[in-house]
Amino acid sequence: MKAEDKLNQIAEIIGGRPWGVDKLKPRVYMNGHRKDIKVFFEFPDAAYDPRNPADDDYLGGDKLSIFIDDCGQHPNWYRGQREKIAKQYYPHMLAVAAIGCDEVDFAKTIMDDDEIEINAALLDEMSGHLINGRAAKAKAAWNAAH
């Protein structure tokens, strides 16, 4: 799949806006925050030629980035705010990891399921399985959490 198509697919599933695929800085910006907060998924390991797209373009690993404009608060306040915001995106993180493993239907299931509250332990377990290509174990952990 071409990088642009993959980025559009990710954005559609997690509800964001794709950006930067033509600049070799692919990102999916997430909406719904104040003007002083920017939240996006970036793909720092992307390896493709935007001038010559191929069917096997590689977006690479994903990273959730959260930026809060300086407003004079103590550094611990910014850290706490970033942690609160990151927790809101646990399902999105898992969905992006699932898409990276070509588990698009599982990513949609994650995003559509309101019954499970994803905590740090479940995020760590499932993302570890997905990153290492063990989608079946990630699905088993998801089902066990129900």
DSSP 80-133: HHHHHHHHHTHHHHHHHHHHHTT-HHHHHHHHH--S----HHHHHHHHHHHHTT
How many domains does the chain contain in total? Answer: 2
Lookup result for tokens 């930067």: 20
Weakest-pLDDT range from 33-47, 51-65, 74-88: 51-65
Full residue range of the structural domain in which residue 56 is found: 1-88
Do 61 and 94 lie in one domain? The reply is no
Burial 56-75 (b: 16+ CB within 10 A, else e): ebebeebebebebeeeeeee
Of 63, 88, 113, the domain-final residue: 88
Weakest-pLDDT range from 48-52, 73-77, 89-93: 48-52
Do 72 and 95 lie in one domain? The reply is no
Question: Would you place residue 125 in the very low, low, confident or very high pLDDT band (cuts 50, 70, 90)?
Answer: very high
Do 19 and 73 lie in one domain? The reply is yes
Do 57 and 123 lie in one domain? The reply is no
CA 120 to chain centre: 15
pLDDT at position 44: 85
